[in-house]
Chain A
Amino acid sequence: MQRLEVMPRTYYDSITLMRVAKEITGMEGIENASLSMGTEANLRILAAAGFDLSEINVTPNDLVIAVSGEDAVLDEALSKAKEYLANPPWKKEGGKSESYKPRSLDGAISVLPEANIAMISVAGRYAGDVALDCLHRGLNVMLYSDNVPLEKEIEIKKLAREKGLFVMGPDCGTAIVRGVAMGMANICPTGPVSIVAAAGTGLQEVHVQLAKRGVGTLHGIGTGGRDVRAEVGGIMVEMATERLLEDDEVEVLVVIGKPPAPEVEKKILERISRGDKPAVLGFIGGESRGDRDGVYICTELEETAAVAAALAKGEDVAEARKELDSAEESLRELAGKHGPRKGWLRGLYSGGTLCYEAQVIAKELLGPIHSNTPLKKDLKLEDSLTSVEHTIVDFGEDEFTQGRLHPMIDVSLRAGRFVEEAKDPGVGVILFDVVIGYGCNPDPARELAEGVLKAKAVAGDRIAFVASICGTETDPQNAARQRSILEDAGVLVCESNARAARLASYLLKG
């Protein structure tokens, strides 16, 4: 049985909604509980979870509470949900009062007049104007918000360039300034490498892979994924590259992302070539090949980090690449041991760049990969909740994050999707990423492992689960502990996203 209730024009932050849902799901007799804003995407997710939406009238500004389970407890569950929203039980009673937090930009500046960067995390339709306000006040901007219109991004970045200020983003989830991480980032050492990236999991993966090789990062400047498009012209990539080439503390420069527009790539190459420090270009799936005069061209994230680490340590780049080749051999052996598997690959990702890299690698080995963010337009999924043949889905895309927590914070959607994919008799391998660090779920492996076990209960040994962990042992979640939890659930955990995608493909390819 199920009940749904709509609370019109009611807003609660996504963290509160997730926590209340978790409390209600834990009640005796309750199978499923969901609290989400009534956006189109969330309604589709509710429908896919079996809720009947035909009787409700809801707009994106309304809160929908949906519970299913034993009839006798559903009313109580609804009532408890509303009580928890009004009085969250996890909020401390009594104790020391909290300091006042300014609500306006001017209020915040009056409190911290020496601030030189503002982090913006408001709805995309307002974020651009807030960014302009900040730039007019002389602040650099980290624009965490997504759904910022392209025209606004161009306007913001042109103003920033005039003023000599940085705009990191939009959709910049990760940045590092003088070793200080902002947004969703990992605890890694500070060192001689600096990175310019679109600013999400690509930056995190390289940052983490460098740390695994004992090399630290000084700056990680996020430019937003659209910066390298022709319309934006690479404004921030150019500014960041320029600034890092001039910085004496930066010994190796890394630039990563999806392949830029040709004119932007040309600009980047020209500037780097005039610089006096080695640079590594990691354009994932790019066409360019061949290192040239202190510029090293890579096509995968781990490769980019391995080459940058070798340069930073004064080691042989060719040797670093050879090590990756022998790692590939080991993957083939591992695939031989656990495979071959029949059927389709299903990738369920929280990181956009990691999803992209997985598609690039899997495509070479398995053929066309369908996705909600496909490499080619004709491979776009009609419904992101329904997989087709080989499919790799980015759950961090806007359709899943409007009025809903990012999958790096709330892993429940992916954990539930493991079971749905397991019901498809044609599925042979499920591939996923686990991103940890600041701002991420405090223990993602636990809930994901539960999903894996439920999926195995449905599919038996038919499906192999393959994952990688983007994080370090010094992260709050501890990469080693996360790995252990997943391995206990029978997941094959690889050292990098590239290796995981490769292993998943070898398992099916044979």
Chain B
Amino acid sequence: MTELPCVSEGDELFSIPLPEAGTIVFDPVIKPGMPASRWRPLLREWIFLACDPELSLPAKPESVEEIITLLGLGPGHTPAGDDWIAGWVVALRWCRSVRTDALLDEFSAFRREGVTTWLSESIISDALEGRTWARPLKLIEALQGDFMREVLDAAGALSQWGHTSGRAWLAGFASGLETALNHKKEIST
């Protein structure tokens, strides 16, 4: 099958046969890991992208309740608040621990449907299930390594995603990483 089938509103869904030997060209699953310690200063800097005038998001929300208030905040198909949350969720899924799972459970419990756009809801739901898009995965891969060019290129590509989406996503991602890594440090000490 080389083209998607054409469907209209009201059509009954049918199952699409897959080829027997298919090549996976993209795997959206976020595999557990953590960034190389070298990049911590860069991550701390990304937290404050939230303070850019077009975003005006809180740099360090204090609680999950405060994070919930970001849902639907801002204009566009994916409001900046949702992008921040998507990044935050991806970070907690990546640097996974008992603590990050608890935070995400708390978030899921507070979360209500219908407060934001369908696209944002999909993105956040996917992230909660441990899946994300290619650009974030490329950044995650780069942050696990030691190559400056890969990190800067991946971060650059993300930060230029949409008008504000990329920066908001990076800010939330960095905030989530800070929480996850601080928790890991507490455990190890």
Interface set of A (CB-CB < 8 Å, partner B): 97-104, 106-107, 109-113
Contact = CB atoms under 8 A, between A and B. Distances in A.
8 contacts: A98-B156, A100-B152, A100-B156, A102-B45, A103-B45, A107-B45, A111-B42, A113-B38
A387 B188 CA distance: 72
A436 to B, nearest CB: 32
Contacts of B40: 110
B153 A104 contact: no
B148 interface: yes
Contacts of A106: 41, 44-45
B160 A98 contact: yes
Contact of A100 (B38, B41, B159): B159
B166 to A, nearest CB: 9
Interface of B: 38-42, 44-45, 48, 148-149, 151-153, 155-157, 159-160
Interface of B (DSSP majority class): helix
A110 B160 contact: no
Contacts of B156: 97-101
A107 B160 contact: no
Interface of A (DSSP majority class): loop
Contacts of B159: 100
Given A103-B48, A111-B148, 20 more contacts: A97-B156, A97-B157, A99-B152, A99-B153, A99-B155, A99-B156, A100-B152, A100-B155, A100-B156, A100-B159, A101-B152, A102-B42, A103-B45, A104-B44, A106-B44, A106-B45, A107-B42, A110-B40, A110-B41, A111-B152
Contacts of B45: 102-104, 106-107
Most buried by A among B40, B42, B153, B156: B42
Contact of A112 (B39, B148, B153, B160): B148
Nearest to B148: A111
B143 to A, nearest CB: 11
B42 A110 contact: yes
A107 B152 CA distance: 11
Contacts of A104: 41, 44-45
Contacts of A97: 153, 156-157, 160
B87 to A, nearest CB: 15
A110 B152 CA distance: 11
A109 B40 CA distance: 11
A304 B48 CA distance: 51
Contacts of A99: 149, 152-153, 155-156
Contacts of B149: 99
A81 B156 CA distance: 29
Contacts of A101: 152, 156
Contacts of A107: 41-42, 44-45
B156 to A, nearest CB: 4
